[in-house]
Amino acid sequence: MESSLRSAQWYAGDDRNAYIHRAWMRRGVPDSAFEGRPQIAIANTASDLTPCNAHLDEVSRSVQNGVYEAGGIPLDLPVVSLGETNVRPTAMLWRNMAAMATEEMLRANPIDGVVLLGGCDKTIPSLLMAAASVDLPAVVVPGGPMATGTFRGEPLGCGTDVWRLSEEVRAGTLSQKAFLESEQATIRSRGHCNTMGTASTMALVAEALGTTIPGLAGTPAIDSRLLKAAHESGRLVVRLVAEGRTPSSLLTKGSFHNAIVALSAIGGSTNAVVHLLAIAGRAGIELTLDDFDRIGAEVPLLVNLRPAGQYLMDDLQRAGGFLAVLREVRDLLDPEALTVTGRPLVDHLDEARIWDPQVITPRSDPLQPNAGITVLRGSLAPAGAIIKPAAASPRLLQHRGRAVVFDSIEDFSARIDDPDLDIDADSVMVLRGCGPKGYPGMPEVSNMPLPKKLLEQGVRDMVRVCDGRMSGTAYGTVVLHVAPEAAAGGPLALVRTGDWIVLDVRARRIDLDVPADELARRLPTEATVRGFAAPRRGWERLYVDHVQGAETGADLDFLVGSSGPRVSRESH
């Protein structure tokens, strides 16, 4: 029977090639599997080494049932998985590789549509980048946050509280023994981090982009409704294939507008900036750093979750969920941006309600009136840098201080607790060599721990400046993603300890207060970070040679854009 499916280019016909493609795939499936039924990949990031995603095999089974029920053929496709806490030097080094591998495997195989199973920080971004580039009908199923653990009667936000507790040990207010006891309580169940870290943020942002069933993102990993939604997502992708609805027909500038509004309203991770820029780049949508400031700056903060707030992801669900947040900012959303259901995102908000205004505050009483990520520029960051004011100390948002410079995270670790280090609460800590090229991979090191001697004096925040990223579960007055990065010759490479740095978030500026002629004298010898040696082979080599700056999403230059679902020449 004639079929317009992409997979028919493998399976249709009576020739030897079609015979080969079908014969090896039979595995007991009925003949109809090769006669016009859509072949649906389940791009599955389950892995024992990505503990946040380890349960996705069970989620995959629900997707498979939905695909079968709707007439499709589900096909498990294990893809590169990145466990945030294990992968060295940083999972971000491998995000583009994961995206490239998934894109290529979807294109290389007889696949008509895909369900994307992700969770831990880089997995949903890499899957969305892949889907945008291969442009096959796609639905995201986020694996959901873990249940909240408690320690000594207090809820623990995984990712966030480990920083707080370790700072308390360094400040002498918590014993080492108690700190280690808390380790057992941090990860209570399957699922990803339960704070408003990068995993939670990217799941919600994926929903705001329209790529999940509305109301799914944020469903806890242990909640049976996750499996129900996974089943529905399997059914839905079969429909998307039948209707020819691909990411390029769904994602628009309006979708990214909605993602930025959502990012601000939830007080989401700064990592979403670099991921959304990369996804937009793959989708061929012009999105700039300034769009985050322009669209997000005036959006109120409505979600009281750690690290900036008090509660955790299962509280968000109990309080009404993500759709209740979006309903509050409905007038700020693009009314036409579609979801995978075929209807605009705003059409899915009528039923949503806030059940606990402590967790989701109404628009009339926001936690902060302006919650967006602020984009800074100036002589220290000509191509841009970002700060999350909601996670910063208000008193430090305008600050002038002397730089204390560290050339690498190892240099920082070796010297930060030296009692003789010349540093005080007004100093500006500068860490460089942590950008995409410099590390390589742009690790989450920007939220440098404070010097022990200042912690003991009660100091809890200082201005920090770095060309790396910051964990979405961290907080503090941190200027990050400074671009161009030091290893690419940015002005950050020229800063010396003792230089004055001026931060003015209201004016959206970060400046190095050093005369231009003095900076010119420092060139070119200091324009390269000490210790930076380009890797000689492998992915790192490819990455360093081709990675772009954080201000455009840190994708590889040759991966920007889409190659679509074209079918390549025959293999035999």
Interface ranges with ligand FES (CB under 6 A):
52, 84-85, 120-121, 159, 192-193, 197, 199
Q: In the complex, what is the shortest distance from the CB of residue 52 to ligand FES, in angstroms, rounded to a whole number?
A: 3
Map residue 278 onto helix, strand or coil: helix
Q: Exposed e or buried b for every residue in 28-39, given b needs 16+ CB within 10 A? A: eeeeebbebbbb
Q: In the complex, what is the shortest distance from the CB of residue 84 to ligand FES, in angstroms, rounded to a whole number?
A: 4
Q: In the complex, what is the shortest distance from the CB of residue 121 to ligand FES, in angstroms, rounded to a whole number?
A: 5
Q: Which is nearer to ligand FES, 84 or 314 (CB)?
A: 84
CB 229 within 8 A of CB 206: no
Number of helices (H), then strands (E), belonging to the chain: the values are: 19, 14
Q: Which is nearer to ligand FES, 91 or 340 (CB)?
A: 91
Q: Which residues pair with 338 in a beta bridge?
A: 344
Q: Exposed e or buried b for every residue in 423-440, given b needs 16+ CB within 10 A? A: bebebbbbbbbbbbbbbb
Q: In the complex, what is the shortest distance from the CB of residue 193 to ligand FES, in angstroms, rounded to a whole number?
A: 3
Q: Which residues pair with 503 in a beta bridge?
A: 399, 510
Q: Which is nearer to ligand FES, 113 or 472 (CB)?
A: 472
Q: In the complex, what is the shortest distance from the CB of residue 50 to ligand FES, in angstroms, rounded to a whole number?
A: 7
Map residue 214 onto helix, strand or coil: coil
Residue type, 361: T
Q: Which is nearer to ligand FES, 197 or 300 (CB)?
A: 197
Q: Which is nearer to ligand FES, 144 or 247 (CB)?
A: 144
Q: In the complex, what is the shortest distance from the CB of residue 471 to ligand FES, in angstroms, rounded to a whole number?
A: 8
Q: Which is nearer to ligand FES, 111 or 199 (CB)?
A: 199
CB-based contacts of 62, cutoff 8 Å, min separation 6: 227, 228, 230, 231, 234
Map residue 17 onto helix, strand or coil: helix
Token digits for 204?
Answer: 């919600």
Q: Which is nearer to ligand FES, 211 or 471 (CB)?
A: 471
Q: Which is nearer to ligand FES, 147 or 429 (CB)?
A: 147
Q: In the complex, what is the shortest distance from the CB of residue 49 to ligand FES, in angstroms, rounded to a whole number?
A: 11
Map residue 298 onto helix, strand or coil: coil
**What's the number of CA atoms in the CB half-sphere (13 Å) around residue 173?**
11
Q: In the complex, what is the shortest distance from the CB of residue 191 to ligand FES, in angstroms, rounded to a whole number?
A: 8
Cis peptide before 30 (omega within 30 of 0): no
